[in-house]
Structures are given as structure tokens and as C-alpha cells.
Structure 1
Amino acid sequence: MTHPRTVSTSRGPAADLADPAFWKLPPAQRLARFAELRQEPRPVFFTERRAGRRRPEQGFYALVRHADVLKASRLPRVFASAPGATSPEPAGWVRVLFGDSMVNLDGADHTRLRRIVQQAFTPRLLAATEASIQELAVRIVDDMVAERPDEFVSAVAGRMSFEVICAMLGVPDAYRHRIARQIDRASEHAGVRRGLVARLKSPGKGLRALARMELTVARLGRERRRRPTGDLISALVSADVEGQRLTYRQLGSFFSLLLVAGVETTRNAIAHALALLTDNPDQLALLLSDFERYADGAVDEIVRHSTPIIQFRRTVVARYTMAGHTFLPGDKVMLLYASANRDATVFEDPDAFSITRDPNPHLGYGGGGPHFCLGAHLARLEIKAVLRELLTRPLAVRALGEPELGTSNFDHRVRKQHFAFDVTKP
């Protein structure tokens, strides 16, 4: 039995969210397409290519309105993360070899694993992490002022997010350079659907990096189980919820998720922040006029406007009618946070960057529900700490030119952002 659906009939990249070329378009063009889709009476279905052919049964419905993304995020009994929330979905053999990431689990399996992880985030650990975030921001900006680099992601944004995660986990300095390379290799093609030759060549590169990261954390986990040191890895290998502990494979999977997701998303938000404040001098002046008053609003608006994670996938597991359409088990949907965060029915003048926007119910950390980002609080602290140090020094910085963006339908990645120093502030 079939069911009615709105199908994308255009084959051009400017309209087809399933076409890799769409994700190479400038962000403004992609946002314009999302705005068109929000005017459709029901979700649009996009057919995905497979090995050079189009099979009508393979594709996804795009959820683009704020209300629809929010509802689907909070209905895991209908919109499930398994078998994979990322795009493309992990192959079965990859899941067997590496285990299921928490982001791809539902129900009791997800609840049990998340409870173990939450137990490890003790008040003492969080307090120590919050203190180290500000200290690290000071040190990074001190180094920036002394060394005068010209590329912001590597000098500030990437370093901040990576070192916070490593410090919280307790990753020794000797491991960090190697792990940083492995993160880049493992996440290089996230959300990119490539041609057949690239798909055959690349698993090796990304999966080898992932395997090495998981071997590293398994080694650290064994050491911390013998000799705990008060860091997150020690807490994770010691956490016990109803007799359940993380296996080393689960620990490795969570470690990979935290490193790739925590580092990538916060790095990108900080990088976008510099460009947004440079391009909106009135908002920068307002923030400088009373940093502590406006900083929290600025952080939320940076996350809304840049939306570091563009989308997550869900699989429909129960018949459900929403947004004028009846979804059936087996249907795939794409929750487009980047579109939901520009929904004019929720956000007045949604394309404007306004640090006093209130309310600001953005979905930058997900739409709530069981998969709401565990690290949202720490991410906000990191962004705020970096902004405080960048903006309250006598030496001002500004972005130069447009950021160099990655090609991905998964995250709004900034590869490079050149910047310059102004001699003094006015």
C-alpha cells in the first residue's frame, strides 16, 4: 500500500536535498530552499541515489518546520534513532565491529547507557571542568596575542574545544596530537555521499582512525580502572547503574562520539561567532557595552544562526500522522535543525543576527527528548569563555573574508577562517 507524499520533482542541485551538489551551494542558497520547503503543505520526499541509480523506495522526508522537528525529536517511540541517526547510516558490519554509538540507540538500551554516562558527570568533575574552561580560554588567547597567527580555527576555536574535552576525559598530553589527527580523519567525510571509487577507498582511512581512537581509549580505560585519577574516563569505567558498567567497546564508542561531536560542534560555533560578530558591528558593540549582561543571549544566537549540526536522521517505527502526512513504519526522515532555526513562525526576522533575541527556542542542541545534547551546558561555557577573552582585551580581532566551509549535509563545518588584529579598540 502506498501513501500520499509530496515528491521533489526537480533534478537540479538548487532544489534537491538528496543531491550532493546541493550541499556545495552557498549557505544563503540552501537556506532559501529550506524557506521554500517550509511553505509546502506537507513534508517533501527526496529520492537518494544508490550506485548511480534511483530507486523510489530509497529516500527521506525532510522535516523543515520548527514545530515538526521539535515534535519528532520528542517522539522516539515513533521516530527512532536506530539503525542510524547520522547520514549515511552505519553499515551493519561497522556496528558489529565498533558497537552502537549512543546517538544511534533507542529505548532501554539508550536509557541504560545514558544513565551510566550521566552518573559519571559528577558535580566535582563538572566544577573542575568549568574552572579549567576559563583558565584554558585565557591561555589560548594569551598565546594568540603573543604569536599573532592568521587562521582562527586552528589557533583558537579548534584548540579550545579539543583541549577542554581532552582535559575532562583525562587524555595525557602524549596522546593528544595523535588523537587530533584521528578525529580529523574520522570526521572528514561525515555526511558526504561520495562516488563509488571514493566510497571504496575511504572506509579504510576513516575507520582506521576510528579504530585507533577506540584502541587508545580502551588502553586508557584499563589503566584508569586499575588507577583512577578523577577524570571522566576514570568515572566512566567505574560507573555502575543497576550492576551495569560500560564495556571497553562502549567506552570507545562514547569516547569517539564525545571527541568528534564535542570537538567539531563547539569548534564550529566559536569559528562562526567571529564571523558573525565581525559582520554585525552593531551587535558586537552591544556585547562589548556590557559583556556579562549580553553574553548568554549572544551564545544562544550564535548557535541558532550558525546551527553547527545541520540535521539528524530518524526511522519511523509506528504509523503516525503529522504535518499533513501519514508516516509509515520504515520511512526515513531528516530533522533539519538548520531550517527549523530560521522558521519565521517562531523567530521574528529569522535571518537577522540579534543577541537580544527573546525568546530564542533554537534547536541547536537538538529538540529535547532523550537525545538532547549531554554537553550543551559545557559547550555554552566554552563559547562564552572564548568570547570573554577575545572581546575584553585591548587588542581586537576580526574575521577576514568568508569562512572556508566543509561540504557536508551533517555539520556546518568551518575548515578555515582567516583573521586579523586591530591595533586598539575605539
Structure 2
Amino acid sequence: MDVIDFDLSAAEFWALPMAEREEAFRKLRALDRPAFFEEMEISFAPRGPGYHALVRHADILEASRRPDLFCSGDGGATNIPDMPAEFTEYFGSMINMDDPRHARLRRIVSRAFTPRMIKRFEADVDAAAARIVDELVAKGPGCDFVTEVAARLPLKIICDMMGIPEEHYRYVFDRSNIILGGFDPEYTDLDNVAANLLNAGLELQQLVQDLAAHRAEHPGDDLITALTTANLDGEQLTLQELGSFFILLVVAGNETTRNAISHGLLLLTRNPGQRALLLDDLGGRLPGAVEEIVRLAAPVNFMRRKVTRDCEMNGNPYRAGEKVVLFYWAANRDEAVFADPHRFDITRSPNPHVGFGGPGPHFCLGAHLARREITVMFRELLTRLPGIESGRPDRLHSSFINGIKHMECAF
């Protein structure tokens, strides 16, 4: 029997080498039932009753399909503690809601993320990726791949979609780093985490609300105009909802795609045989490579749910009010679903990963756009710089985001 001698709630756990984390989650998957952990004590939220760690693929699929039993809105999905009310003003978009509020918001904003709408931005994605690689070549090897390449494409596309002027890109980038910086001292003052989070949220919300007010008088062909004038069966976004949705977009649509691209270069560098296979048929094998990158990167480590009533799932009982944490990163390495799960295999098929979340109402709204951006970025990189390699990654110290902060590249 494996001994569980680690604590998923400890900040120190998320600073361990990746191999040690992988072994810890393997031990958890081998248990008869999900392990239970006490919650971390933080200064700005009450300490909760603890949580069940869902690490098996089957458990995450089932909990995702049953929002009536495992809800997102009671205390929030993006954090394990129940967050104070003031946080929901900035971080309370639809990812932290249940129906009918969730359905209403998703119904309004989803029209901006249909395949037909995303197709409008295809040329912009292609042009942005080409420009980024142009500038990478001009700067030469040794630069930071994360900040110079991986972060720039999704940031530009999200800001362009919303109608955020280019002079605000860095402002948005810095504040999204604070929001998802976890317990990393590079991005946040560990003695003032709550204040830093709230200030970053306030500043991003104020930015988009100011632009919305301008668009009311000077409408444009952008998402801010569309969302502030959208009227679906008499429903419109309030300014507060627009601000919270923008924060969700920049932290979810920017950070996660940035990290998938960063992890992708790292995986191709560490697996030269798979790189050679991909280069042999870039057009044919790139879609499969993107799915495998997302599976192993799993940029979002977890989401939280709360049990709405006593129930049983996959043979294990849960009581009303208990918390469960869906560890997507662990589920994407489940031996029961993925053969040789730690191996990077761009031909893996089927590949039912949960890198964009599980099935159900909270499946990632921007998955189609994220796939497009990752595909275009690697097509551009590997066509023009087929030998590009990553250096050693400097990983983000966070339990929520499987992030890479900095990583040199050579070509």
C-alpha cells in the first residue's frame, strides 16, 4: 500500500520537482477512494472543512457531467477556500456560477466564440504569429521564449477581440500575472496577496468599463461593443458582468494558451523522436500534437466543486456541503485511460484528455480558439525554425496553474 506522506494543500508541494508530483498523484489514483485533505489556512478567507481530491479520469468526467450534484457557484470554482464576497465582484464570472445565472451569461457571450466567429480572426492569428517569429529571429537565440513568443500571441488576440488598444497590452499582461501568480514572489507580495489580487481585478475591470463607456458613444467592430449592445431575449451584460468576463478572458484565454505553447516547446525538445515525426508530416500530425501537448501540459491544474446533496459517485459516498477538487492534470495521466501516460505521443488516439475541462456546462468556451492559436504558433515556428529548442523551465509556484514563467530558447 502506498503511503500518502504529502499534502496537496501545502504550498511546498507545488514547488516539488515534476517527477515527485507525478509520483504523488499516481499514489492517489491507486487508492480505493479519493483521499481527503485539510484546507490551507490563508489570511483573507475562512478555513474550510477540507476536500476530496478527485484524481481519476472517471471521477472527473462524472462530476463534470453532474452540475446538479457538484456545483460551481457556492464559494467559487477557481479556489479551494470559499472566497469573501468582495472577490466575486471581480472574479465572479460564469466559471464560478451555476444555472440559471451561468446559462444566461454563457448564452450571451458564446456567440462571440462560435467557429464562424473564430474564423473571422484566423487571418489575424496567422499574421500575429508570423510577426512574433519575425521578431524572434531578429533578436536571435537566448531570449525568453515565454515572454517573447508564447505569451504574446494569446494576449494580442484576446485584446484585439475585445478592442483593447495595443498600448494597454503590457498593463493587461502584468495584472493577469498577479491574478494567477499563486504564491510566486515574482508576481505578488506574499504578505499582501488579497490586496494585490483585488487591486489587479479592480484595474482590469476599470479598464474595460472605461472602454465600454467610450464604445457606447463610438461603437466599433469588437467584442466590447458587441457585448455591451448584445440583447438576447431582452438580456444584456451589466458593466460589472462585462468586467468580470474580461478578467476571465485574459486570465483563462491568455495564461492557459501561453502555458500550453511553452510546455509544447519543452516537450518537443525533450522528445526529439516525436519532433522528427511531426516535422515529417507537419500538416497531418500537428492536430494530434496539439491535443497531446494540451493533455500533458494541463495548464489549469484543478477546479473545485461543492456537493449539493448526499450522493454516491463511482461507488464512493459524498455528503451535502463537502468539497471535491477536480485535478485535471492528474486525470490526464490516468493509467486506466492512457497507455504509458507519461509518454509524449503525438499519434495518441483516442486522446480523451480533460485539458479544457470535463464535459458539461463548464467545458472551456475558448477551446476552439486555443487550439487554433497553438496550431498556428507551432506551424510558424517549426516551418521557419525547425530546430528550435527550449532551455530549462522556470516554473510558476502555483497550485492552480501549471505554468512556466521563463524559459530560454535556442535555434
Counterpart Cα distance in 1 of 2:336 and 2:42? 39
What is the identity, as a one-letter code, of the residue corresponding to 1:329?
Answer: A
SS of equivalent to 2:121: helix
Which residue of structure 2 aligns with residue 155 of structure 1? Answer: 148
Residue 411 (structure 1) aligned with residue 407 (structure 2)? no
Counterpart Cα distance in 1 of 2:372 and 2:71? 30
Which residue of structure 1 aligns with residue 262 of structure 2? Answer: 271
Residue 134 (structure 1) aligned with residue 147 (structure 2)? no
- Label 1:96 to 1:73 Cα distance change in 2 as closer, same or farther (>3 A): closer
SS of equivalent to 1:228: coil
Residue 174 (structure 1) aligned with residue 164 (structure 2)? no
Counterpart Cα distance in 1 of 2:72 and 2:32? 25
Shift of 1:113: 0.5
Shift of 1:101: 1.4
2:94·2:105 contact (CA, 8 Å) conserved in 1?
yes
Counterpart Cα distance in 2 of 1:384 and 1:266? 11
Which residue of structure 2 aligns with residue 3 of structure 1? Answer: none
- Label 1:57 to 1:324 Cα distance change in 2 as closer, same or farther (>3 A): farther
1:141·1:389 contact (CA, 8 Å) conserved in 2?
yes
Residue 25 (structure 1) aligned with residue 11 (structure 2)? no
SS of equivalent to 2:353: coil
Which residue of structure 1 aligns with residue 239 of structure 2? Answer: 248
Shift of 1:221: 1.1
Which residue of structure 1 aligns with residue 305 of structure 2? Answer: 314
Per-residue Cα deviation, 1:164-188 (whole angstroms, up to 9, x for no partner): 1111111112222222222222222
SS of equivalent to 2:384: coil
Which residue of structure 2 aligns with residue 324 of structure 1? Answer: 315
Counterpart Cα distance in 2 of 1:218 and 1:162? 19
Which residue of structure 1 aligns with residue 274 of structure 2? Answer: 283
Which residue of structure 2 aligns with residue 367 of structure 1? Answer: 358
Shift of 1:119: 2.5
SS of equivalent to 1:334: strand
Shift of 1:99: 6.7
TM-score normalized with structure 1 length: 0.90
Residue 116 (structure 1) aligned with residue 108 (structure 2)? yes
Note the residue ranges of structure 2 that are not aligned, 5 or more in a row.
Answer: none
Shift of 1:290: 0.8
- Label 1:394 to 1:342 Cα distance change in 2 as closer, same or farther (>3 A): closer
Which residue of structure 1 aligns with residue 221 of structure 2? Answer: 230
Per-residue Cα deviation, 1:96-134 (whole angstroms, up to 9, x for no partner): 643721110001000000000013346664222122111
Which residue of structure 1 aligns with residue 334 of structure 2? Answer: 343
Counterpart Cα distance in 2 of 1:279 and 1:329? 45
Work out which of the residue numbers 155, 178, 185 in structure 1 matches 2:178: 185
Work out which of the residue numbers 206, 219, 224 in structure 2 matches 1:215: 206
What is the identity, as a one-letter code, of the residue corresponding to 1:131?
Answer: A
Counterpart Cα distance in 1 of 2:299 and 2:115? 27
1:41·1:324 contact (CA, 8 Å) conserved in 2?
no
Counterpart Cα distance in 2 of 1:64 and 1:97? 30
Identity of aligned residues (%): 44
Residues 41-60 of structure 1 aligned to structure 2 (within 5 Å): 41-50=32-41, 58-60=49-51
Which residue of structure 2 aligns with residue 87 of structure 1? Answer: 79
1:99·1:249 contact (CA, 8 Å) conserved in 2?
no
2:310·2:319 contact (CA, 8 Å) conserved in 1?
yes
SS of equivalent to 2:49: strand
Counterpart Cα distance in 2 of 1:147 and 1:286? 28
Name the count of aligned residue pairs. Answer: 404
* The 10-residue stretch of structure 1 (145-154 or 366-375) with the greater mean CA deviation from structure 2: 145-154
* The 10-residue stretch of structure 1 (103-112 or 197-206) with the greater mean CA deviation from structure 2: 197-206
1:65·1:340 contact (CA, 8 Å) conserved in 2?
yes
Work out which of the residue numbers 21, 27, 30 in structure 2 matches 1:36: 27
2:125·2:376 contact (CA, 8 Å) conserved in 1?
yes
Per-residue Cα deviation, 1:356-389 (whole angstroms, up to 9, x for no partner): 0000000000011000001001101111111011
Per-residue Cα deviation, 1:276-309 (whole angstroms, up to 9, x for no partner): 0010001000100011100000000000011111
Counterpart Cα distance in 2 of 1:73 and 1:327? 15
1:130·1:378 contact (CA, 8 Å) conserved in 2?
no
CA RMSD of aligned residues (A): 2.2
Counterpart Cα distance in 2 of 1:417 and 1:23? 19
Which residue of structure 2 aligns with residue 424 of structure 1? Answer: none
- Label 1:325 to 1:119 Cα distance change in 2 as closer, same or farther (>3 A): same
Per-residue Cα deviation, 1:329-353 (whole angstroms, up to 9, x for no partner): 1100100101100011110110100
2:64·2:358 contact (CA, 8 Å) conserved in 1?
yes
- Label 1:162 to 1:265 Cα distance change in 2 as closer, same or farther (>3 A): same
TM-score normalized with structure 2 length: 0.93
1:390·1:396 contact (CA, 8 Å) conserved in 2?
no
Note the residue ranges of structure 1 that are not aligned, 5 or more in a row.
Answer: 1-7, 422-426
What is the identity, as a one-letter code, of the residue corresponding to 1:34?
Answer: F
Shift of 1:229: 1.3
